[in-house]
Chain A
Amino acid sequence: MSKYHLGEFEEVVLLTVAILHDEAYGVGISNEIEKRLKRKVSIGSLQTVLRRLEKKGYLSSRLGEATRIRGGKRKRYFTLTSHGRKILETTKRQRMALWNAIPNLNFRNGHA
């Protein structure tokens, strides 16, 4: 078990990077999150999380191609490392364990 626990936003970012596979760069990630979760992401908070996850070793990055619209600046593509994949799986397992532990899973009284 890892000592480090993923925050909610960190988890979202890691998952999105995984979804985008080889196409995950800053603007792409924020667009994807906005599209899927209908949630606004500020560039500042996204980038800090990306750098933090990279520092922790969950992500690796490489510089890609430059386009005119980017003023000739290259993109930085992020990919999930095996370490990152592992922590995502751990997180998921933990969540499922918690879900399974709820007695008589009953949605009728919940917010169906």
Chain B
Amino acid sequence: MLKKSDHNPPKWVLTFFRWFCHPDYLEDLEGDLRERFAKTWDERGIRSAKWLFILDVLQLFRPGLIRSFPMTLNILDRDMFKNHFKIGFRNLLKHRVFTLINIGGMTIGMICFILIALYIQYELSYDEHHEKADRIYRVSQIQKGNNFRGSNRFALAPLPLTSVLKELFPEVQAATTLQVREALFSHEKQSFYERGLFADEHLFEVFTYPVKEGMGKEALQDPDAVILTESLAKKYFGEDSPIGKTLNFENDRPLTVKGVVLDLPKNQHFGFDYITSLQNLPWYQNDLGRWGSNNYRAYVVLHKGYAYKELEAKLGVLQSFYQDSFKPVFFLQPLRDIHLRSQINFEISANSDIRYVYLSAFIALVILLLASINYMNLASARSAGRSKEVGMRKVLGAKRGQLVNQFMAESILITSFSLGLAMGLVYFLLPVFNQLMDQHISFDLKGNRTVFGTMLFISIVLAVLSGLYPAILSSAIMPIKALKGGWSKGRKDGAFLRNLLVVGQYTAAIVLAIASVVIHQQLEYIQNKKLGYTRDQVVYVPYRQQDFYERRDVLRAELLEHPQIKKVSFASSLPLNMQSQGVVDTWEGNGDQEKLWIYRNYIDHDFIDLFDIHLVQGRNYSPEHPTDSTASIILNESAIKALGWKSAINKIFDDKRVIGVVKDFHFQPFNLAIEPLFLELGTKRRSTYGHILIKTTMEEQEDVLAYIQRTVKTFLHGVPVEPRFMDESYNELYRSEKRFGEVFNIFTFIALFIASIGLFGLVTHSILLRTKEIGIRKVLGASISNILGLVSKSFLRLVLLSTIIAVPIAWLGMNRWLQDFVYRIHLDWWIFLSVGLLAMIIAFFTLSTQTIKAANKNPINTLRDE
């Protein structure tokens, strides 16, 4: 039990209270506060006590109780307050260009910031809606020695795992085994592939899926039952209640709808359209009790207060269940971390990356910083032009605080206007942004109050900071000097800081610009890199059918009847993204010592021809050699290298004779190196699922596609047939990189734009101050280009300096990014040079528009005015 005297209220609140409270009242009020705090603590716990304390202190912040602030900004002086805003408003109207630049820059900055902050918040919110989210862990495994696509971690678990976990470890409160898989659903002659969640009856003990009608948990006991999501129910049954109706599952089993769950939020690391029993997976019976059956996902909930790392350390005992030498090491992944921090093999769906979140946060801050720098720069520069006003105010007795207030009022006007504008535009831009980022973020003032609150807070800080600096600067000046207007020619008018800020701005913009060029180049490289096979004009249709093998020759013949179809082939995997890998330990010269992890693809005689894959040794499969289908194998160059062979032909690999070696081709995404692969002829057993590949001439695309669809449909019973293009699917693989590139381009453009309008404002101002100088120079015979050189020299020097600073930063950053790709471009010097040059050119154009205008003025007009 705590002693009463240990009840200490939060210190910072107390400090704040002591600061504002009237000294006469301070002692007894603080006593009262502490007493109340101690009382609520005892009665309602520390959390409510703290909240109530903060509330109490805030409520004490009122006129009767706060001390008087001698040098106050006199916010309470209503007349002056109103006057400041009135004058501020007039001032903004008077200098329309500056106001426009200020508000425009600020608004763009804020929009970017809010959008990116919303995106970050969304990314961080994944899987948070499960009641036990903080105690749910996925059990994944490390398979030592199995380096599959660069990692030996797998998001898979065997079927018996969860029941054993519950038995052995008391800290496991609940555990469920599940898998997400597409399966065919049909109803009244319509059939679709729908994404199903196959789960055991413990699913609802772990995850929270609110039931809308019918049963939840109970339905999973029954293998003939299915629970639909709201939208799937609507798709099949419209507005009628689906309970009790049946759907045909995989064309051979009717399932009864027993329940409907609410549609899921999109921010989950796996989604689905329906839930049904795990027993409906075709391999379930076969996997019962088998520890080698890595076909499932396992999730556990721990009791409150248990550290998952402790449980993880004890998971070693599970190895005793494995009979053979292969023993995986299990580990736990917190549910909330999966979306951003798990990039292991066989994720249910592609996860995002925490690095994207960091990068976007960085970009958001940079852009907001650019916009604020702009504002401060312009305001401080412009304050120089207002020296007369400041001088007059001082002579008339304005105190320093009042001058500060004046500038502050303008600053608040601009920021609040920008904030309002930004919020409104975000509302309209969000759908576009969502499409761009492939996200589902909604505009929700309450749900996103952290984001909007932060924005509001930043705006206030920004308003105060950007108001304060010019205010202090100009109010410190001697009135007599200010009135004479001599101040603006003084040395200490903040020019150094202003230059520093311009350099900072351009540095950031140039770094971003270089990055976006490099990203673009790398993506281009990926798109155009020689893959080692030709994917153009290849259409494919995935299939899953028991008796496909026997009938495939008929299908081939029928397809080839169309004059534009050149070749037809059947293969288990597409060369886009091969996943299937196995272990081989028998080959000539091995003696069962070593194991080779090797990718495999089961093909037919036409596969190598259809893709123009180059044979470096030996021959292709041929119908003239009937033994090919059982006793021959073709390897790729990487496999030969891994085996240490010089010549491969006629050697024995996996009990088969090597008849050919193909040149390495990319059968996986580009960030992965080419690894060993074998191509074997498909057998009946291997052909129950795979892809139909069709090479066409593509002259009458529509016609060919329709023909393919018609023909294939007669062969595949009751499944949707959608022919797809290989190169489209290929581009799909790089969608996230591409999207990243596009978004990056946009933000780079914005950064450059903001930096440029900042420069534009500064130049305009600097010319304004030098109008007379320019006039005199002209009278004395200076040409327009002389003057242009004079003005641009100082600014271009700053941009040059920025380039020099930006290049190494960009080089380091982009080098890091490129490390993720096995096949990547070189960072050429010309990228840096051209971006630097481009920045200079943009800066020069920005400068010259205003300078030329000023230089063209008749000197009589500029010199006469005094």
Contact = CB atoms under 8 A, between A and B. Distances in A.
Partners in one complex: yes
Given A68-B5, A69-B5, A47 B25 contact: yes
B38 A69 contact: yes
B65 A26 contact: no
Contacts, number: 78
B32 A69 contact: no
A70 B38 CA distance: 9
Interface string A35-57: 00000001111011001100000
A58 interface: no
A69 B7 contact: yes
Interface in B649-690: none
Contacts of B732: none
3 tightest Cβ-Cβ pairs between the two chains A and B: A44-B59, A73-B31, A76-B28
Given A44-B59, A48-B64, A63 B27 contact: yes
Interface string A59-103: 000010011111101111000000000000000000000000000
A51 B25 CA distance: 9
A51 B63 CA distance: 11
B28 A42 contact: no
A70 B34 contact: yes
Contact of A26 (B8, B32, B58, B64): B32
Main secondary structure on A side of the interface with B: helix
A52 B65 CA distance: 10
B752 to A, nearest CB: 50
B824 interface: no
Interface range for A = 20 to 34
Interface string B695-739: 000000000000000000000000000000000000000000000
B32 A25 contact: yes
A28 B54 CA distance: 20
A26 B33 CA distance: 9
A44 B60 contact: yes
Given A43-B36, A69-B38, A48 B65 contact: yes
Contact of B34 (A42, A48, A71): A71
Given A43-B32, A75-B28, 18 more contacts: A26-B29, A26-B32, A27-B32, A27-B35, A42-B56, A42-B59, A44-B56, A47-B32, A66-B31, A67-B31, A69-B5, A70-B34, A71-B31, A73-B28, A73-B30, A73-B34, A74-B27, A76-B28
B34 A47 contact: no
B718 to A, nearest CB: 68
Interface in B50-71: 55-56, 58-65
A32 B153 CA distance: 65
A66 B25 CA distance: 15
Contact of A52 (B55, B60, B64): B64
A74 B30 CA distance: 9
A25 B33 CA distance: 12
Contacts of A47: 25, 29, 32, 60, 64-65
B4 interface: yes
A74 B58 CA distance: 22
Contacts of B25: 47, 51, 76
Given A69-B4, A70-B35, A71-B34, A44 B28 contact: no
Given A27-B36, A51-B25, A45 B59 contact: yes
Given A43-B36, A69-B5, A25 B65 contact: no
Output the residue of B33, B35, B60 with the most chain A CB within 10 A: B35
